[in-house]
């Protein structure tokens, strides 16, 4: 600090008679940073060096986060203002005089200072006035009894004046709950980021609609690049809202809670061993999807309910192990396609009942081995047709029987019994029919393009007792 006295700025009565220069060590660099979730990869770091040339000032930096801006150019303006705020305090003059024209913001030119570097323009930042009159009767006192002085502070006019931020920004302390709101008639109101709008309990002016708040981001337990979990809070639900850095302009929904109008999906505490993920059909409700766990000892269960369709895709292996029974009820059709081999091993019995037609198309061989009896009972006809050879072999006995007539072959000979036996005597020969096969329909592929197609949407094909060409079947299926 240095004290300079008797400095005249106007020849005459106005003068400055005390001049104290104060230099503060301030930061020579200022940096600010923030984050914008809409441009997460873009760095919003902005920094600037001081234009003053004080010794070692550039070794000290002030860093502020969050800066309170969303774009880089906003950060450049913000950091410049913060640096100007610092530079105001680099050099401050404390002085006294009697110039009655001084007021904060007034600009004056200092002259006749014995230090030439001080003869320049200044801006007043504060002025304190003091005045007195010698007596209670002005007419009886002289001018020498009237007194006026002031004390003031000023800065060089080349330094932009930027006042300090004495008033702190309001901070929200702690979390709050709010009700999700949206347009009338809607059940879900969101944007491409999954954000929602809410009505805070303290808000008396908003109308509990889409204008009640800004868009509020919703926290998720898992969030990645086009993967993760999503469950958008619905209108009427109560959510827990926190504020990033306590900033009331940056709310974020961090959870949800039940209340008397939004109760849990199961009655508590009676069903307290159940854990579930249960949705509600929109719009209108009346249906749901659910994935539930029952952890009650002795009644443990995993329950899956699909209100309409269920699609499962496994890109490699799918394995099931069932400790006891497996029950399957299909109300309409079941379509399966195996592009490789199919192996089935049954340790006990296999019982099947087909109320319609059982049709099998085997491109190569049909091989069957029966350990004991093979019984085949047809209500009207049995046809066996071989393209070349038909061999029937019995180890002990072979019998062909119609009514009371029969042909019996056994190791002792061939026995023919009939009311009449005709050999080369005419008659009509029967012919075996070609098997009237029905080709199976293929299940649809679950692709992004047609995953909404379901087996029940495929065209129904009605066959007569004849073999239809394969090409015709394929044409109908497309």
Q: What is the pLDDT of residue 441?
A: 73
The helices-and-strands tally (H runs, E runs) of the chain is: 2, 20
Cβ atoms of residues 44 and 36 within 8 Å: yes
| CATH 2.40.50.230 in the chain, residue ranges | 168-263
Q: What is the pLDDT of residue 444?
A: 74
Taking only the tens place, the pLDDT of each residue in 209-221 is 999 999 999 999 9
Average pLDDT over residues 52-64: 76
Q: What is the pLDDT of residue 405?
A: 92
Mean of per-residue pLDDT scores for the chain: 86
Cβ atoms of residues 475 and 439 within 8 Å: no
Q: What is the pLDDT of residue 145?
A: 65
Average pLDDT over residues 159-170: 90
Q: For residue 158, which of 2, 9, 83, 52 has the smallest C-alpha distance?
A: 52
What is the Cα–Cα distance from 254 to 220, expressed in whole angstroms?
8
What is the Cα–Cα distance from 346 to 352, expressed in whole angstroms?
13
- The first and second tokens of residue 250, run together, are 């940056």
Cβ atoms of residues 120 and 109 within 8 Å: yes
In SS3 terms, 186-209 reads as CCCCCCCCCCEEEEECCCCCCCCC
For residue 403, how far is the Cα from the chain centroid? Answer: 78
pLDDT of 455 > 70? The answer is no
What is the Cα–Cα distance from 187 to 388, expressed in whole angstroms?
71
Q: For residue 29, which of 55, 62, 66 has the smallest C-alpha distance?
A: 62
Q: For residue 249, which of 191, 195, 174, 169 has the smallest C-alpha distance?
A: 169
User: β-pairing, 61-64 with 29-32?
Assistant: parallel
Taking only the tens place, the pLDDT of each residue in 138-152 is 555 555 667 889 999
User: β-pairing, 121-132 with 217-218?
Assistant: unpaired
Q: What is the pLDDT of residue 466?
A: 38
* DSSP run (H or E) holding 371: none
Taking only the tens place, the pLDDT of each residue in 4-57 is 333 444 445 678 889 999 988 888 899 999 999 999 999 999 999 888 776 566
Average pLDDT over residues 253-275: 96
Q: Strand runs (DSSP E) across 205-308, as ranges?
A: 217-218, 238-243, 251-257, 274-278, 290-294, 301-305
- The first and second tokens of residue 129, run together, are 């006035």
Q: What is the pLDDT of residue 420?
A: 87
- The first and second tokens of residue 103, run together, are 């007021």
* DSSP run (H or E) holding 94: strand 91-97
What is the Cα–Cα distance from 216 to 192, expressed in whole angstroms?
12
Cα Rg, the chain, nearest whole Å: 48
- Name the pTM for this structure: 0.74
Taking only the tens place, the pLDDT of each residue in 230-250 is 999 999 999 999 999 999 999
Percentage, residues of the chain above pLDDT 70: 84
Cis check for the bond before 269: say yes or no (omega within 30 of 0). yes
The confidence band for 307, taking pLDDT boundaries of 50, 70 and 90, is: very high
Q: For residue 440, which of 404, 470, 416, 465 has the smallest C-alpha distance?
A: 470
Beta bridge partners of 416: 407
The confidence band for 450, taking pLDDT boundaries of 50, 70 and 90, is: low
pLDDT of 72 > 70? The answer is yes
Strand order in the sheet with 217-218: 197-200, 176-181, 238-243, 251-257, 217-218
Q: What is the pLDDT of residue 73?
A: 93
Average pLDDT over residues 84-103: 91
Q: What is the pLDDT of residue 248?
A: 94
Q: What is the pLDDT of residue 55?
A: 57
- pLDDT, greater one: 448 or 335: 335
Of 67-71, 130-134, 224-228, 316-320, which gets the smallest average pLDDT? 130-134
What is the Cα–Cα distance from 237 to 177, expressed in whole angstroms?
10
Percentage, residues of the chain above pLDDT 90: 67
> Residue 76, SS3?
helix
Output the CATH code of domain 168-263: 2.40.50.230
φ, ψ (nearest 5 deg) of residue 225: -85, 100
In SS3 terms, 385-453 reads as CCCCCCCCCCCCCEEEEECCEEEEEECCEEEEECCCCCCCCCCCCCCCCCCCCCCCCCCCCCCCCCCCC
- The first and second tokens of residue 476, run together, are 């109908």
- The number of residues in the chain equals 478
Q: Which residue has the tokens 């880089």?
A: 72
Q: What is the pLDDT of residue 423?
A: 83
Going by the DSSP 8-state scheme, the letter that residue 127 receives in this structure is: E
Q: For residue 126, which of 92, 85, 77, 91 has the smallest C-alpha distance?
A: 92
């Amino acid at each position: 600090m240095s004290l300079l006295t008797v400095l005249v700025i106007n020849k005459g009565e106005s003068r400055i008679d005390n001049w104290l220069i104060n230099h503060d060590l301030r930061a020579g660099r200022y940096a600010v940073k923030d984050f914008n979730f809409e441009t997460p990869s873009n760095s919003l770091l902005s920094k600037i060096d001081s234009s003053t040339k004080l010794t070692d000032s550039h070794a000290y930096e002030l860093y502020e986060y969050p800066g309170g801006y969303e774009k880089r150019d906003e950060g450049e303006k913000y950091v410049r203002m913060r640096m100007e705020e610092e530079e105001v305090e680099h050099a401050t003059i404390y002085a006294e005089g009697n110039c009655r024209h001084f007021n904060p913001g007034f600009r004056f030119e200092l002259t006749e200072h014995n230090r030439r570097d001080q003869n320049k323009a200044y801006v007043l930042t504060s002025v304190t006035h003091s005045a007195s009159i010698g007596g209670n009767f002005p007419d009886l006192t002289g001018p020498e009894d009237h007194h006026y002085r002031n004390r003031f502070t000023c800065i060089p006019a080349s330094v932009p004046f930027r006042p300090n931020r004495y008033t702190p920004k309001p901070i929200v302390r702690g979390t709050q709950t709010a009700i999700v709101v949206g347009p009338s008639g809607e059940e879900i109101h969101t944007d491409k980021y999954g954000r929602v709008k809410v009505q805070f309990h303290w808000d008396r002016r908003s109308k509990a609609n889409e204008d009640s708040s800004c868009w509020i981001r919703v926290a998720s337990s898992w969030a990645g690049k086009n993967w993760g979990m999503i469950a958008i809070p619905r209108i009427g639900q109560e959510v827990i809202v926190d504020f990033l850095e306590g900033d009331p302009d940056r709310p974020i929904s961090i959870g949800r809670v039940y209340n008397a109008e939004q109760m849990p999906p199961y009655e508590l505490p009676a069903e307290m061993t159940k854990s579930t993920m249960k949705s509600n059909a929109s719009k209108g409700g009346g249906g749901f999807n659910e994935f539930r766990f029952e952890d009650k000892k002795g009644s443990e269960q995993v329950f899956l309910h699909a209100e309409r369709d269920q699609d499962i895709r496994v890109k490699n292996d799918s394995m099931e192990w069932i400790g006891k029974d497996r029950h399957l009820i299909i109300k309409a059709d079941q379509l399966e396609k195996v592009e490789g081999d199919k192996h089935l091993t049954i340790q006990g019995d296999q019982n099947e009942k087909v109320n319609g037609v059982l049709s099998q198309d085997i491109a190569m061989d049909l091989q069957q081995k029966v350990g004991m009896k093979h019984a085949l009972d047809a209500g009207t006809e049995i046809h066996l047709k071989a393209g070349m050879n038909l061999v029937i072999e019995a180890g002990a006995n072979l019998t062909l029987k119609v009514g009371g007539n029969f042909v019996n072959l056994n190791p002792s000979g061939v026995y023919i019994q009939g009311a009449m036996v005709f050999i080369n005597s005419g008659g009509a020969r029967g012919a075996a029919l070609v098997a009237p096969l029905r080709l199976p329909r293929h299940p649809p592929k679950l692709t992004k393009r047609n995953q909404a197609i379901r087996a029940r949407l495929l065209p129904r094909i009605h066959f007569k007792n004849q073999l239809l060409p394969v090409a015709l079947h394929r044409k109908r299926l497309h």
